[in-house]
Amino acid sequence: MRAQRQISMPSDAPLPRNAPAAHPRHNPALMPGVVIVGAQWGDEGKGKITDLLAERAEVIVRFQGGNNAGHTIVREGKEFKFHLIPSGILHSEKACVIGNGVVLDPAVLLGEIDGLKRRNIDVGNLRISANAHLIMPYHVLLDTAGETKLGKLSIGTTRRGIGPCYADKALRLGIRVQDLLDEKILRTKIRAALEPKQQALRELSVQRRKLRKEAGEEAKAPAEGTAVVPDPRLDLHSMVEEHVNFGHRLEPHIADTAKLCWDALDADKTVIFEGAQATLLDLDHGTYPFVTSSNPIAGAATVGAGVGPTDITEVWGIAKAYATRVGAGPFPTELDDEVGEQLVERGHEFGTTTGRRRRCGWMDLVALRYAVRLNRMDSLAITKLDVLSGIGPLKVAVRYRSKEGAVLESFPYHQSILHSATPEYEELPGFDADIEECREEADLPQAARDYLGFISDFVKVPIRLVGVGPDRDQVVWIGS
């Protein structure tokens, strides 16, 4: 844990005027606030690590993103996939929170809840921030239309309505979870949000008819005297009615989740803040514009959960033993060869949310070091080390070279430089042993330990946990 800075004052120094009574600080040895973030381009296995660390926590909070994210957990051979519900839901005795920084599609959330109930998983511990914003049907339509319009220049979003929802939030046209509990307010807000979108939605309708015509699927004209039935997804009355029903079902879970976190932290209980996506997809600090619509970095946990900066006492970064990326955007260490195919097949590199094939490449230590500093990480967890068994020699990118030949030791801030940068590698010996049964550091082959040691030394952060298989028990803890 990072050392606490001490400020000394003379013992007889007078207190400032109107100073409040002294409030006991958190015991730093308990580390009550732990943030878990992705250290690459996402899909690093954050769900599994959150599930493991949740055993030592009382509250698990998802603080940003939407159902564009996916976490997969394997317990005793059973696979659980989450999109909105935090990974800690499998611990029925823990409070599991969807924070105010999340944008949620209520239909998707209720689908997840129903799916868990069918598998006899208790969801009575789920709490949803009343201030979280809702993804509405028009957000999904606008997201899809925007990507279609961009064509070859598309960003590669999941088309789940995430970006348009965050845009409405910034425009103060958003619909919040608490609005589901007041039909009058809900109707007024949906009408206000729909009005400025009418032109875009009309263009969308024209575009869809054009595409159907080009595909030879032009719809038949309605019979004479028959009214054209509006799309129920965009009909105000239908939308209000549907979302009021959502509100009835979700009401038992809606709460003041910021206060829930405060109470836990003030009682020196451990709270885990779980991020979605990852550092290099951050809206401000990632590979813009090929990024997500929120801030997945550690600093955003305070905003997305409603806690103070000093409530965060430790930051864990999660990285694969290699690198992957979904969608468009720069990826300096990407492999378009046989090794890349091996990583895809052996790592089962297909997106939890969309099923899209992930692009694979060597571990990029230039990018990882950037993520470590940006998040001020205290610890690293390296997942999927087992996938590298039998692949050798192993390569890690330790610097880039620009197209002009300049050596780049740091992650480039300018997108044109990054898009054309080529990595320079260090080669390390590979290992052939099957490591899925390893549970102690000493069980790992020396080459595997050397590989981990090189990563840790380069980024100057200790590796505390290593994943050696898909199941939650297939991990190696390093150190205390």
Same domain, 263 and 388: yes
Give the neighbor-by-neighbor strand order of the sheet with 475-477. Answer: 254-255, 126-129, 95-98, 59-62, 271-274, 33-38, 314-320, 379-383, 463-467, 475-477
Domain count of the chain? 2
Same domain, 144 and 273: no
Residue of 434, 455, 299 lying closest to 379 (CA atoms):
455
Higher pLDDT, 148 or 98: 98
Residue of 99, 104, 46 lying closest to 70 (CA atoms):
46
From 251, 266, 281, the end of a domain falls on 251
- CA–CA distances in Å: residue 298 to residues 85, 292, 382, 435: 19, 15, 18, 31
Q: Which of 43, 105, 179, 311 is catalytic?
A: 43
Residue of 113, 14, 111, 105 lying closest to 67 (CA atoms):
105
Within 13 A of 245's CA, how many CA atoms are on the CB side?
A: 7
Could you tell me the pLDDT band of residue 143, with boundaries at 50, 70 and 90?
confident
Give pLDDT, residue 208. 64
Give pLDDT, residue 204. 67
Out of 100-109, 133-142, 231-240, 442-451, pick the least confident: 231-240
Could you tell me the pLDDT band of residue 402, with boundaries at 50, 70 and 90?
very high
**Does the pLDDT at position 29 exceed 60?**
no
Residue 11 lies in a domain: no
440 in Cβ contact with 405 (< 8 Å): no
Could you tell me the pLDDT band of residue 38, with boundaries at 50, 70 and 90?
very high
Q: Is 71 a catalytic residue?
A: yes
Query: What are the b/e assignments for 152-171, b being 16+ CB within 10 Å?
Result: eeebebbbbbbbbbbebbee
Q: Which of 26, 51, 71, 378 is catalytic?
A: 71
From 216, 251, 286, the end of a domain falls on 251
Residue 9 lies in a domain: no
**Does the pLDDT at position 367 exceed 70?**
yes
Within 13 A of 247's CA, how many CA atoms are on the CB side?
A: 19
Which of 11-15, 333-337, 347-351 is the most confident on average?
A: 333-337
Same domain, 170 and 119: no
| Averaged pLDDT, 162-185 | 96
Same domain, 317 and 466: yes
Same domain, 147 and 240: yes
CA distance linking residue 97 with residue 86, whole number of Å? 7
| Averaged pLDDT, 428-440 | 96
Handedness of CA 20, 21, 23, 24 (dihedral sign): positive
Q: What is the pLDDT of residues 74-122, one digit of tens each?
A: 877 788 888 899 888 888 899 999 999 999 999 999 999 999 999 999 9
**Does the pLDDT at position 231 exceed 70?**
no
Residue 295 lies in a domain: yes
From 218, 251, 284, the end of a domain falls on 251
Total Cβ atoms within 10 A of residue 173 = 16
| Averaged pLDDT, 8-33 | 44
For residue 445, give the CATH number of its domain: 3.40.440.10
Same domain, 87 and 204: no
Give pLDDT, residue 462. 97
Give pLDDT, residue 198. 78
Could you tell me the pLDDT band of residue 21, with boundaries at 50, 70 and 90?
very low
Q: What is the pLDDT of residues 271-319, one digit of tens each?
A: 999 999 999 999 999 999 999 999 999 999 999 999 999 999 999 999 9
For residue 203, give the CATH number of its domain: 1.10.300.10
DSSP codes of every residue in 297-334: STTHHHHHHT--GGG--EEEEEEESSEEE-SSS--TTB
Report the DSSP pairing between strands 133-134 and 78-82.
Answer: unpaired
Same domain, 410 and 439: yes
Higher pLDDT, 224 or 425: 425
Residue of 167, 163, 136, 123 lying closest to 147 (CA atoms):
163
Same domain, 35 and 124: yes
Q: Is 91 a catalytic residue?
A: no
Give pLDDT, residue 12. 40
Same domain, 186 and 285: no
Give pLDDT, residue 127. 98
Could you tell me the pLDDT band of residue 355, with boundaries at 50, 70 and 90?
confident
Same domain, 221 and 353: no
Residue 369 lies in a domain: yes
Beta-sheet strands, E only, within 55-125: 59-62, 71-75, 78-82, 95-98, 103-104
Residue 3 lies in a domain: no
**Does the pLDDT at position 51 exceed 80?**
yes
Same domain, 276 and 399: yes
Residue 1 lies in a domain: no
Range of the domain at 223: 134-251
Give pLDDT, residue 79. 84
Report the DSSP pairing between strands 407-408 and 394-401.
Answer: antiparallel
Residue 24 lies in a domain: no
Same domain, 320 and 337: yes
Residue 20 lies in a domain: no
Residue 441 sits at the vertex; the CA angle it makes with 439 and 447, to the nearest 5 degrees, is 115
